[in-house]
Structure 1
Amino acid sequence: MSYHIQIIPRVLHFKQPAGTSRGTYTTRKSWYLYLTSKEDPGRIGIGECAPLPKLSCDDLPDYEQILATICRQTERTGMPDTEALRPYPSILFGLETAFRHFSTGDFALWDTPFSRSEAGIPINGLIWMGDYKKMLEQIETKMQTGFRCIKLKIGAINFEEELALLKHIRAHFSAKEIELRVDANGAFSPVDALDKLYRLSELDLHSIEQPIRAGQWEEMARLTAQTPLPIALDEELIGYNTLQEKKELLSAIQPQYIILKPSLHGGISGGQEWIDEAEKQKIGWWITSALESNIGLNAIAQWCATFNNPLPQGLGTGALFTDNIEMPLSIHKDCLWYDGNSFPSGEVVESVLQPERKELSTDPNKQELHLENDIICHADNIQQLISELSDNTPQIQRDLYNFLADWFNESPYITVHTSGSTGTPKAFIVRKEQMMQSAILTCSFLQLQKGDTALLCMPLQYIAGKMVVVRALVAGLKLILRTPSGHPLADVKTPLRFAAMIPLQVYNTLRIPEEKVRLYQTEILIIGGGAINKELETEIRAFPNTVYSTYGMTETLSHIALRRLNGPEASSSYTPFPSVQLSLSPEETLVIDAPLVCDETLVTNDIAEIHPDGTFTILGRKDNTINTGGIKVQIECVEETLRSIISVTFAVTAVPHPGLGEAIVLLVEKAADTDGLPDKIASLLPRYQQPKYIRQVDAIPLTGSGKTDRKACRLLAAQLI
């Protein structure tokens, strides 16, 4: 029989950043194999090739080319060459499962109680790396769901905090009630590993995966011989692909368990070799997935179900993605179930064959901007559109046409201006290519598609407004113009797919019932340009659709990170785009390396905390720090606390003081009732954070983009004290 194999690449997006020993994943690339035959045109086979970056032995720079070559060879021979594919376990796994699917004609790849929906596979609940609070929240959710086996990835935070997490579980659940596994991902040093194993063993754990880094056979063998806690090997098995190598590794180290991931450890056939040899040497084992989509996960689960292994397996990670391939897999309590009878396989095939997304346009000469009034702007007609402007043309449309004239000209550069919110406004020149790369990052993350409606309601003098236009050009969005105001949805009748607003616009919109309805109907809302106070964030949590807070600046050409504000994925920290690398300066300010949008590494004035999972939290600005009496006070922290008792616009600033160095000043609009305010403040803030002076003003100075003008506030306070 002659076969044809189509290779379909797909990038999947994690619902939340996935912290691993190799860094934090926000996206996951897979290659689907779509197998057909002329002799049997009604039959297909689908498999998944998904090497893990920086871990799989076949994670190679030319992976896609190698995959294509192997698929062409397989077409000629009619079957995968298992021996020749030993160095490429993820490719072997994809081909094996595609051919298995083709031969059975069903995603139930083997006939088992699991594939017949008669039994589920017990699985462990996975707790991702993160800070103490995030890991504790995950643990409590898993226990409430009904998991009886929980696996924690450790080694990312302080060992004592990780012990505290485990003790927290044991304080509520005995070893008979909850089985605990930990995965160190090689984080321990051989010097102190045994001591840590003894401390962990006091908590009645089932096992620990890979306590020290792979490749240290002698040290690992010493640990497996002396450990009070069973050791399971995972990364250690990667790259040992021949049967002889597998025998030598297991004989030398003699672990208590091995953990098999088919796409890393030899596909189905190679995994079977590991199991056979482990059982000969009386070594336990279980099977787990490796962040595959539901295509790969289903194949692993179907194979896993052919064994009578009573241990909880490591399956179920397919629920991590926002854009996974739908499969008849579901988790009930602590078991993975398959219900093929209620799921049309044709939908799976259609999902695999559907292109990941329409091509994004990066050639300004071929870009078009579609407006609400059916006007189409492009390089050939923009000058004519400008000439047809009348005295009645809204200023926002004039500004748009002028920007487009600059955008469509032959120069690869364009001038942008900062808002002046963090210093003196300035102009600088950037490459249009960088602006388009910024737009691509956002459009890809939010999955904006051609024809989606987008609202422009911010000034085009600044980068935020310009980038709304560039996103529309790159992704083919239909742009709806509204003059920038506090009520951008006052007369918008068209349902919106995407909108970008500042906090004040969102706040004002929520005060008007009909505008609030329109905002609730907006499918994706991003909010930037200022701090979102707790009260507004609480209101946003009730939104039915997707809302993000953005982090960025003019120098990064809009945002380089997003923070979900509502739904189960709501977070207090920002997730950077995959191409962005972050670090901290000696002053603990955020350092941004975003090569797609900024030529230089950018050292910001934002004091930040970077978490183990790669997300980050902004604590305030370095230049918004007040040094009063030798104690540093962050303006943003004080303002956030005071918002609970002050309903009008206000600002915290400082003036020079002979004794304190700087004295804190609270400026409030005159509409505020200041009677009793000092007592209320004293009940909320420690003494060193309390304002020494409270002054009423006609209005709080704002920048052109609506942010508090910190420099003007200091000057105003100096005049009033």
Structure 2
Amino acid sequence: MHYTHTHLSLNNKSVALSSIQQGSVTSESDFEKASLDFIHRWLNNQQTFILQTSGSTGTPKKIEVTREQLIASASATIKALELKEHDQVLICLSTQYIAGIMMLVRCLVGNLNITAIEPTANPLNLLPPDAEFDFAALVPYQAETMFTEMDLSSFKRIKKIIIGGAPVSLKLTEILSKAESDIYQTYGMTETLSHIALQKISGVDATHAFKALPGVTLKLDARNCLVIQADYLPEAVVANDVVEMIGNNTFRWLGRADNVINSGGIKLYPEKLEKIVEHTFSSLSINNRFFVCGTQDAKLGTAVSLIIESANKVDEIALLQQLRNHLQSHELPKVILYTKTFEMTPTNKINRVATLRKYGMITNLQ
């Protein structure tokens, strides 16, 4: 494959791919080092790569994948999003992990022009105000910051955007639904070589479910968790995500099986409860981060618990009063706990297990 037409800008410096292939480009940051190292290995036709999981859903681990698998995954995204040769692509995610790595692969496979900048809360702040792109990948926090610091019009600078790494909140989904760009929420993991399904969340053609990419087949196991088969995966990947299949290769995500709270014999999905809590927080102008889990309870076995990142208590009476309007009694938090700071993964996701262990909380996630 020839890359003579691919242009690379790294932290606003033009870099020749031929120089990267020869190994003659010096890095000035961890992001530059990871980006240059991967591109160097790719240009020199390396056939196998070691990928590192982030650890947000378990112990971090390394997996080995082949060049052909990465090409097949990249090609599926290029086809689904109708990306074209010479499109301008913004890479503002860590290239040590699958999301950033696959952005590099898509560019190299599709001969797309690369603008790679340090991952920050608002990537557009590091770029000229007239810089525009055909495609970019963001995490929810970046999209939220772009809206807060700039406004919705800033998204017009990027024609197509995929958002992944964590679920997109109800509030952010509502904001982005009015964007002029084509914006998609992604579903996938390191083991599936990035996303295997997309959900459009902007425009009049927005959907309420994920649709699998070409070449991906989905089914459920006995737990109603997703089983993923793809042309480029050597074997089926069994996810820990409970979903509702609503059509051929189309599904709604309900939550993580390992997060499920069994309270008094009733199974509850924290992610579903978190959407209600998020809406209530917004109505009460509570801006703290939070998550829902189960803590040990003598009567129920496990009680629904709300963990809030705050040094001070919120107005719990007002909070519970409003939650009662939207939740059944068995869904209401029986315990509200506070931590000064949440533990985070290297890819900036809340690490629930590490947070709970740090503060000595005994929960269903131990």
Q: TM-score, normalised by structure 2?
A: 0.90
For the residue of structure 1 that corresponds to 2:118, the secondary structure is: coil
Residues 596-611 of structure 1 aligned to structure 2 (within 5 Å): 596=232, 598-611=233-246
> Which residue in 2 is equivalent to 1:42?
none
Which of structures 1 and 2 has the larger relative contact order (alpha carbons within 8 angstroms, sep 6+)?
Answer: 2
8 Å CA contact 2:356–2:362 kept in 1: the answer is no
> Which residue in 1 is equivalent to 2:306?
666
Unpaired runs of 5+ residues, structure 2, are 282-286
Instruction: Please state if 1:439 is matched with 2:74.
Output: yes
> Which residue in 2 is equivalent to 1:519?
155
Residues 114-263 of structure 1 aligned to structure 2 (within 5 Å): none
Counterpart code for 1:665: S
8 Å CA contact 2:153–2:179 kept in 1: the answer is no
How much is the aligned-residue C-alpha RMSD, in angstroms?
A: 1.9
Q: Out of 227, 241, 255, which is 1:591 matched to?
A: 227
Deviations 1:524-567 (A, max 9, x none): 01000111111110000110121111111101101111111111
For the residue of structure 2 that corresponds to 1:466, the secondary structure is: helix
Q: CA deviation at 1:381?
A: 4.2
For the residue of structure 2 that corresponds to 1:604, the secondary structure is: strand
> Which residue in 1 is equivalent to 2:284?
none
Q: CA deviation at 1:412?
A: 1.1
Q: CA deviation at 1:568?
A: 2.2
Q: CA deviation at 1:407?
A: 2.3
Counterpart code for 2:135: F
Deviations 1:293-334 (A, max 9, x none): xxxxxxxxxxxxxxxxxxxxxxxxxxxxxxxxxxxxxxxxxx
Q: CA deviation at 1:581?
A: 0.8
State which structure, 1 or 2, has the greater radius of gyration over its C-alpha atoms.
Answer: 1
Residues 36-185 of structure 1 aligned to structure 2 (within 5 Å): none
Q: Distance in 1 between matches of 2:357 and 2:333?
A: 17
Q: TM-score, normalised by structure 1?
A: 0.47
Instruction: Please state if 1:560 is matched with 2:196.
Output: yes
8 Å CA contact 2:155–2:181 kept in 1: the answer is no
Deviations 1:445-487 (A, max 9, x none): 1111122111111111210010010011011111112211111
8 Å CA contact 1:420–1:703 kept in 2: the answer is yes
| Pair 1:422–1:707, CA change in 2 (3 A) | same
Q: Distance in 2 between matches of 1:667 and 1:555?
A: 29
Q: CA deviation at 1:655?
A: 2.0
Q: CA deviation at 1:516?
A: 4.4
> Which residue in 2 is equivalent to 1:495?
132
Q: Which has the higher strand share?
A: 2
Q: Distance in 2 between matches of 1:621 and 1:545?
A: 30
Counterpart code for 2:330: Y
Q: Distance in 1 between matches of 2:67 and 2:252?
A: 30
| Pair 1:450–1:422, CA change in 2 (3 A) | same
Q: Distance in 2 between matches of 1:521 and 1:545?
A: 8
Counterpart code for 1:668: I
Unpaired runs of 5+ residues, structure 1, are 1-362
> Which residue in 1 is equivalent to 2:331?
689
> Which residue in 1 is equivalent to 2:296?
656
Q: Equivalent pairs: percent with the same residue?
A: 31
Q: Distance in 1 between matches of 2:3 and 2:298?
A: 60
Q: Out of 550, 567, 571, which is 2:207 matched to?
A: 571
For the residue of structure 2 that corresponds to 1:643, the secondary structure is: helix
8 Å CA contact 1:605–1:623 kept in 2: the answer is yes
Instruction: Please state if 1:581 is matched with 2:251.
Output: no
Deviations 1:218-266 (A, max 9, x none): xxxxxxxxxxxxxxxxxxxxxxxxxxxxxxxxxxxxxxxxxxxxxxxxx
> Which residue in 2 is equivalent to 1:402?
37
| Pair 1:716–1:685, CA change in 2 (3 A) | farther
| Pair 1:666–1:517, CA change in 2 (3 A) | same
8 Å CA contact 1:396–1:481 kept in 2: the answer is no
| Pair 1:534–1:635, CA change in 2 (3 A) | same
> Which residue in 2 is equivalent to 1:382?
21
Counterpart code for 1:559: H
> Which residue in 2 is equivalent to 1:706?
348
Counterpart code for 2:331: Q
Q: 656-665 or 423-432, which moves further after superposition?
A: 656-665
For the residue of structure 2 that corresponds to 1:530, the secondary structure is: coil
8 Å CA contact 2:155–2:180 kept in 1: the answer is no
Counterpart code for 1:400: S
Q: Distance in 2 between matches of 1:635 and 1:422?
A: 14
Deviations 1:46-96 (A, max 9, x none): xxxxxxxxxxxxxxxxxxxxxxxxxxxxxxxxxxxxxxxxxxxxxxxxxxx
Q: Distance in 2 between matches of 1:468 and 1:684?
A: 40
Residues 541-556 of structure 1 aligned to structure 2 (within 5 Å): 541-556=177-192
Counterpart code for 1:594: A
8 Å CA contact 1:651–1:700 kept in 2: the answer is no
| Pair 1:521–1:405, CA change in 2 (3 A) | closer
Q: CA deviation at 1:658?
A: 2.6
Q: Distance in 2 between matches of 1:511 and 1:582?
A: 37
8 Å CA contact 1:581–1:594 kept in 2: the answer is yes
Q: CA deviation at 1:410?
A: 4.6
Instruction: Tell me the number of residue pairs that the alignment of Structure 1 and Structure 2 aligns.
Output: 350
Q: Distance in 2 between matches of 1:539 and 1:381?
A: 40
